[in-house]
């Protein structure tokens, strides 16, 4: 079938490719290839781990879409998932740069309002799975690891804040997102104009909120299943740390690997404005390794292997951006 490259897809592809080329030039192509050779089989293992992660992400999204999931093939949703995360990695926009892309691509099958709801709903499920895994990591670290008292106190505080994010996300699932956003904007004097603009589309906002809350009120088992899939996808990130360290002969336990993921995840979320988390992940790994009594410089190696894995999936995601412009991919399954 003839490929159709839409202006939106070409824009996101060129935008992402430009930033990607810049980042590669900053790191140096020769250095990247040299480190890829050193990583060897470890790099292949973590690439496969991330294939499992993206499949879990796609499955969670497909699950919460419910009957509307039939309008988008799993292959199409997988491509959009990978491409969306690829854009998030390379743009300093609070890791949501890929969300407008997802909306634009899915609009052909779901319609604009429904695609916005689908993207926001999945983002909330994704956040909930992430927070629950981080909370597990905090609990494991506090009970299974011997850490300095100051670090344990800091982790306890982080755990408390995570509980707050979880509670807020559940309230969003229960009562809706857009109406609450309008209320928050209305309460801030410098954002009341934005609230008024939302108010002019009140009927559309109410319909999008119904799509979000329907999962909580009528398909709660589906919501739990999707969150569990997202939780599992995040647990695989701890497995990634475990496999990389085992690959260089460092015998760590799974709880220790999960703790390392917890620390670097907290750091990169605090430093959300840095494209591809340059330096932030390595700093988080350095702190985590030092806390476990391991050589902190291993954080540099861990960061390099993870960076190489990201390069692979970003390139694939950019390719998927072009392929997602295929006309058939935008039509509901079963359409002519």
pLDDT at residue 35, as a whole number? 65
- Which pLDDT score, from 0 to 100, does residue 336 have? 30
30-33 CB contacts, 8 Å cutoff, 24+ apart:
32/308, 32/311
pLDDT in tens, 92-124: 554 566 788 888 888 877 787 788 888 888 988
Helix segments in 188-326, DSSP class H: 192-199, 202-218, 220-247, 254-270, 280-291, 298-323
CA distance 328 to 209: 29
Position 59 scores a pLDDT of 95
Q: Name 173's Cβ contacts closer than 8 Å, sequence gap at least 6.
A: 124, 128, 212, 213, 215, 216, 223
Q: What letter would DSSP give residue 92?
A: T
In which residue ranges of the chain is pLDDT below 70?
1-13, 15-20, 22-24, 26-40, 92-97, 181-204, 269-280, 324-336
- With tokens 């592809």, the residue in question is 13
Q: What percent of the chain has pLDDT over 70?
A: 71
In total, the chain counts a number of residues equal to 336
Instruction: Flag whether the pTM goes above 0.95.
Output: no
**Cβ atoms within 10 Å of 202's Cβ, excluding its own:** 12
Give the domain ranges of the chain: 7-330
Question: What was the pLDDT predicted at 62?
Answer: 92
């Amino acid at each position: 079938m003839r490929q159709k490259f839409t202006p939106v897809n070409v824009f996101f592809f060129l935008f992402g490719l430009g930033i990607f080329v810049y980042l590669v030039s900053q790191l140096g192509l020769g250095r990247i290839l040299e480190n890829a050779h050193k990583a060897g089989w470890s790099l292949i293992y973590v690439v496969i781990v991330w294939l499992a992660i993206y499949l879990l992400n796609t499955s969670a999204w497909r699950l919460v879409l419910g009957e509307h999931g039939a309008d988008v093939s799993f292959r199409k949703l997988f491509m959009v998932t990978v491409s969306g995360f690829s854009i998030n990695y390379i743009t300093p926009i609070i890791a949501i740069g890929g969300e407008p892309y997802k909306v634009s691509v899915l609009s052909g099958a779901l319609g604009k309002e429904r695609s916005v709801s689908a993207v926001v709903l999945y983002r909330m499920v994704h956040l909930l799975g992430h927070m629950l895994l981080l909370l597990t990591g905090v609990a494991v670290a506090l009970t299974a690891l011997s850490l300095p008292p100051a670090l344990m106190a800091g982790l306890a505080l982080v755990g408390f804040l995570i509980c707050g994010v979880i509670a807020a996300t559940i309230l969003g699932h229960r009562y809706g997102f857009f109406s609450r956003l309008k209320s928050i904007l209305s309460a801030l004097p410098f954002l009341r104009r934005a609230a008024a603009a939302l108010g002019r589309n009140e009927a559309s906002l109410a319909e999008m909120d119904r799509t979000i809350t329907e999962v909580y009120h009528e398909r709660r088992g589906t919501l739990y299943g999707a969150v569990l899939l997202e939780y599992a996808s995040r647990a695989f990130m701890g497995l990634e740390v475990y496999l990389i360290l085992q690959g260089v002969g460092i015998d760590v336990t799974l709880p220790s690997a999960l703790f390392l993921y917890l620390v670097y995840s907290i750091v990169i979320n605090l430093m959300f404005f840095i494209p591809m988390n340059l330096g932030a992940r390595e700093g988080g790994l350095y702190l985590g390794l030092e806390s476990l009594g391991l050589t902190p410089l291993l954080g540099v190696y861990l960061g390099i292997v993870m960076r190489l894995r990201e390069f692979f999936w970003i390139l694939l995601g950019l390719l998927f951006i072009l392929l997602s412009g295929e006309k058939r991919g935008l039509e509901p399954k079963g359409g002519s």
